[in-house]
Amino acid sequence: MTNTATTSIPRVSSAAQGRLDAEPHLFIGGRRVQALSGRTLEVRDPATGAVIATTACAGAEDAGAAVDSARQAFAPTSPWRTMSPLGRGQILHRLGDLIYQHADALAELEVLDAGKVRGVARAIDVEFAARAFHYFAGWPTKIVGSTVPVSHPDIHVRTEREPVGVVAAIIAWNFPLLLCAWKLAPALAAGCTVVLKPSEETPLTALWLAELALEAGLPPGVLNVIPGTGESAGEALLAHPGIDKITFTGSTAVGKHIAARAADSVKRVTLELGGKSANIVFADADLDQAIAGSAGGIFWHSGQTCSAPSRLFVQRAVAADVVERLTAAAADLTVGHGLDPSVDFGPLVTAAQLSRVRGYVDRAEAAGATVHRVGRLPDPPMGHFHPPTVIGDVTDDMECVREEIFGPVVTVLPFDSLDEVIVRANGGTYGLAAGVWTADINTAHRATSGLRAGTVYVNGWGLTDPAAPFGGFNQSGYGRDLGPDSLDAFLETKSVWTFLN
């Protein structure tokens, strides 16, 4: 049964309101421009369904103009290409500082645009976006080649690391500002230029970030932002011969399409895709800690995170207790508008996403699963809210267990032994994240060694850091965001052979 909670919605700051009131535009060549397509996008608050802003919607011609701008900025004699590594790093650090300077207003935009909760948006989305730029600000001065001891006399061979070129960065709607930083910081540190296509659902902070980058000293044309649909702007970027690399975060289905399209022109590709992460609680775990961490992981941002621990494996001896306590914890959560300080998590991003999540839950119930829909929803009803939901009495082959729901829904599956649960946890098509809760260090080591996932948490869930690589195994993608691994993806290696006289 779902309770209700009254939600009041405070006004936003004048800085955030100014961005909402801006004339529809793209950002190309260091300035705001109108879309050649003549089309616009309505930006809606998912907590109310109301239109909060209008932005330009890029078409193929706009995408071409953005790529041309990025290619000019990548010319060998351009200010960006001739800038010292120290200069690049200083710009990235200033950009991180500017994010901090405007942190509160950026957080408000994330609430209105993506359904975040303001405190979390400020502490996570904005904070870690700034940290990403500060971290990668230290890398340009450390990109080095090597001397190669080849087995030929009178020949000197060295390697050089060069930027891959013009990057198309296509990001999802669930972490608009943070994903911008994850893509842009290593690309710019490497010396690339970028055409960024934010989701048409959540374009506001990306457009502001481009202007902050210009203020930080980034030369015009190095970063271009073109909100638009995948069918228009996205497809144009995939096909454009001026794009050297594509970095994408989003669904596995779209990632497969991007990889296939990129193969035609052998574009470099990095994909961070979906997940159905296994979260394993052993009977000897601190259950208070495990339940709190598991609830936070799956219900945070309404479950709209690719690494959400949506498959909860619980050792049979404590399974019934965990279900009862997890359901009770979910029932205490307040769902509503993220500008209300009493709210724990907000809405799903669109009505279509809400319908999709409801469909998974309803079909699970029809198939015989036990469904607990709990939590306190807004009163009066508004927006795209789904209650936190715990589903029991399921099997590994059920749709709700196999497929990514991308909502505040967790399935609970009992298990008996470590060997059994490792096989079951690895049995899906994804491999983005996994978790282990245990007081036994031997169990922890055996589990982390056996799990096929890009990130494995032990007695915790969900932290990231700019220094730690993030990405997945299997159909969760290839390549990594963050850390030195992500920087390598934006660099080419050139071997230089010098024949000595």
Cα distance between residue 62 and residue 33, in whole Å? 10
Could you give the angle at the alpha carbon of 301 between the alpha carbons of 474 and 270, nearest 5°?
30
Instruction: Record the tokens describing residue 85, joined without a space.
Output: 């590594």
Alpha-helical regions (H) of 217-350: 235-239, 252-263, 287-299, 316-331
Cα distance between residue 40 and residue 396, in whole Å? 44
Determine how β-strand 223-225 pairs with β-strand 193-197. Answer: parallel
Q: How many residues does the chain have?
A: 501
Sequence letter at residue 28: I
Instruction: Record the tokens describing residue 228, joined without a space.
Output: 């638009």
Report in angstroms the alpha-carbon separations of 43 from 15, 227, 280, 347.
Answer: 17, 11, 39, 15
Determine how β-strand 166-170 pairs with β-strand 245-249. Answer: parallel
- 377-389: b (≥16 Cβ within 10 Å) or e: bbeeebbbbbbbb
Task: Give the catalytic positions in this structure.
Answer: 272, 306
Cα distance between residue 4 and residue 474, in whole Å? 40
With H, G, I as helix, E, B as strand and everything else as coil, classify residue 376. Answer: strand
Cα 300 to chain centroid distance, Å, stands at 14
The 8 Å CB, 24+ separation contacts for 320-324 are: 321/287, 322/281, 322/287, 322/290, 322/291, 322/412, 323/390, 323/392, 323/412
Cα distance between residue 383 and residue 337, in whole Å? 9
Q: Residue 219 burial by CB count (10 A; 0-12/13-18/19+): exposed, middle or buried?
A: middle
